[in-house]
């Protein structure tokens, strides 16, 4: 383990990894990365490396869970044992159970659930490497995977956290800022609908700081949103090229 840094932001307002307070980490998005899945996506955000795969709509298992008027959305957020400094047991922790639930609830408003009654759609998220903000990066990738699976959606869901490091409200917290910062506010957002679909917070913020953090997170979401759309288009540009060959 590395030593704890004294300050997360230097006198010039620059963060440990050289970013300004309102700057995102570098992001790489790729769509259609798992051949077996109906839809899939991969995201790298800072040192986060996350895969999302979607299966469905398919038969509900076990059958009694089937809903008569809409599809059943299931979600599993899971961290690989090697994704963090100290090996994490592969059994689902309470944190993973909670995150699976809030991620599912962040994606559900984007899907036309009533189009596929008596079926289920499953979203599987594997955190290969964690670097702070995994739930947000996972949502960004999972929404792309749903779009890649051809599920009819109202909008893409994109997520990004803001928080407070030392005394500054900052965007897209990395691991050290997440652990030693004063607050973390993950936000998932559908830009076309002006809808927040996930909102959590821990730490301590005044109402004014909270409002700033939410607005900053939404700005970050909007930037990632355009990358999401590019990544989707890039896949179909490839498909088109292959078809023409």
Partner 1 sequence: MASVVTRVKQKQIAQLMEKEKRLDGRKPTEYREIKVEQGIIERAEGSARVRLGKTEIVVGVKVEMGEPFADTPNEGVLTVNAELVPLASPSFEAGPPDETSIELARIVDRGIRESKAIDTEKLCIEPGKKVFVVFVDIYVLNHDGNLIDASALAAMAALLNTKMSNYEVKEGEVKIKSGYIQLPIKQHPITITCAKIGNKLILDPGLEEELVMDARLSMAIDDDEDICAIQKGGAGYFTPEQVIEFSKTAKEKAKEIRKELDW
- Interface contacts to partner 1, rule CB under 8 A: 94-95, 97-98, 100-102, 105, 108-109, 185, 190, 193-207, 210-211, 214-215, 218
Torsion on CA atoms 137, 139, 145, 150, rounded to nearest 10: -150
Q: Which residue's CB is nearer to partner 1, number 51 or number 216?
A: 216
> Smallest distance, Å, CB 97 to partner 1?
5
Pick from 95, 53, 46: nearest CA to 74: 53
Asked if residue 190 lies in contact with residue 220, where contact means CB atoms within 8 angstroms, the answer is no
Alpha-carbon distances, residue 85 vs 78, 139, 175, 231 (angstroms)? 16, 23, 11, 30
CB 16, min distance to partner 1, A: 19
Q: Which is nearer to partner 1, 44 or 209 (CB)?
A: 209
Q: Which is nearer to partner 1, 40 or 100 (CB)?
A: 100
Query: Whole-number minimum distance, CB 197 to partner 1, in Å?
Result: 5
Residue with tokens 């590019």: 230
> Which one, 45 or 197, has the nearer CB to partner 1?
197
Question: Which residue, 32 or 163, has its beta carbon nearer to partner 1?
Answer: 163
| Angstrom distances, CA of residue 182 to CA of 90, 170, 203, 241 | 29, 11, 5, 49
Q: Least separation, in Å, of the C-beta of 15 and partner 1?
A: 22
Rounded to an integer, what distance in angstroms lies between the CA atom of residue 23 and that of residue 187? Answer: 16
Distance from C-alpha of 203 to C-alpha of 83, rounded to nearest angstrom:
24
Closer residue to partner 1 in complex, CB, 87/233: 87
- Output the smallest distance, CB 198 to partner 1, in A: 6
Nearest distance from residue 128's CB to partner 1, in Å? 23
Number of neighbours of residue 234 by Cβ within 10 angstroms = 14
């Amino acid at each position: 383990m590395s030593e704890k840094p004294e300050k997360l932001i230097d006198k010039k307002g620059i963060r440990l990894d050289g970013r300004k307070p309102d700057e995102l980490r570098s992001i790489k998005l790729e769509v259609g990365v798992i051949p077996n899945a109906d839809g899939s996506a991969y995201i790298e955000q800072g040192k986060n490396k996350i895969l999302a795969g979607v299966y469905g709509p398919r038969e509900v298992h076990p059958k009694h869970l089937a809903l008569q008027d809409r599809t059943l959305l299931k979600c599993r957020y899971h961290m690989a044992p090697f994704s963090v400094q100290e090996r994490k047991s592969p059994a689902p922790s309470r944190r993973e159970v909670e995150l699976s639930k809030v991620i599912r609830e962040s994606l559900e408003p984007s899907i036309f659930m009533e189009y596929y009654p008596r079926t289920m759609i499953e979203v599987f998220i594997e955190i290969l490497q964690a670097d702070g903000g995994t739930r947000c990066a996972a949502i960004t990738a999972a929404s792309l995977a749903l779009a890649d699976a051809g599920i009819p959606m109202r909008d893409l869901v994109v997520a990004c956290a803001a928080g407070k490091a030392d005394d500054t409200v900052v965007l897209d917290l990395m691991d050290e800022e997440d652990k030693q910062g004063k607050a973390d506010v993950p936000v998932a957002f559908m830009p076309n609908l002006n809808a927040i679909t996930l909102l959590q917070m821990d730490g301590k913020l005044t109402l004014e700081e909270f409002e700033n953090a939410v607005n900053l997170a939404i700005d970050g979401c909007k930037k990632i949103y355009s990358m999401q759309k590019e990544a989707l288009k890039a896949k179909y540009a490839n498909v088109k090229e292959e078809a023409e060959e």
